[in-house]
Amino acid sequence: MSGLADHVVNGGFPFDLPALRPFFMGSDGLLPRAEEFETYAGFLDAQIRYERVKALLESVVGLEKSQVAAYDIIPGDSVIREFVGGSTIKIPHNE
């Protein structure tokens, strides 16, 4: 069931998409190329979602990976650091 939460917390920051963009776009990016979906032509939902994500990422001016690695734009305790690396949060069970 969806839509039954009492509260929704948006923990996103304006730099989240620009920080993720260099990891998904480009020749070494994680976003699949359109031709990789040719074998799944019958899965219209997957194609629609792919096009939406691709269009969203293309509409964002991304950061360079060197900017993502630096702490002057993205703080070390930001949630996005869990995905792009460089988190400064100490988690006892990870040490």
Provide the residue ranges of all domains of the chain, joining segments of one domain with +. Answer: 16-87
By the 8 A CB rule, do 76 and 89 touch?
yes
Nearest CA-CA partner of 68 in 53, 54, 80, 56: 80
Q: Model-level pTM?
A: 0.72
Length of the chain: 95
The label of the residue with tokens 């460089």 reads 86
d(CA 29, CA 22): 7
What does each of the 95 residues of the chain score in pLDDT, given as a tens digit?
Answer: 567 888 887 878 888 999 999 999 988 899 988 888 778 778 888 888 889 999 999 999 999 989 999 898 899 998 899 889 999 988 787 66
d(CA 12, CA 54): 19
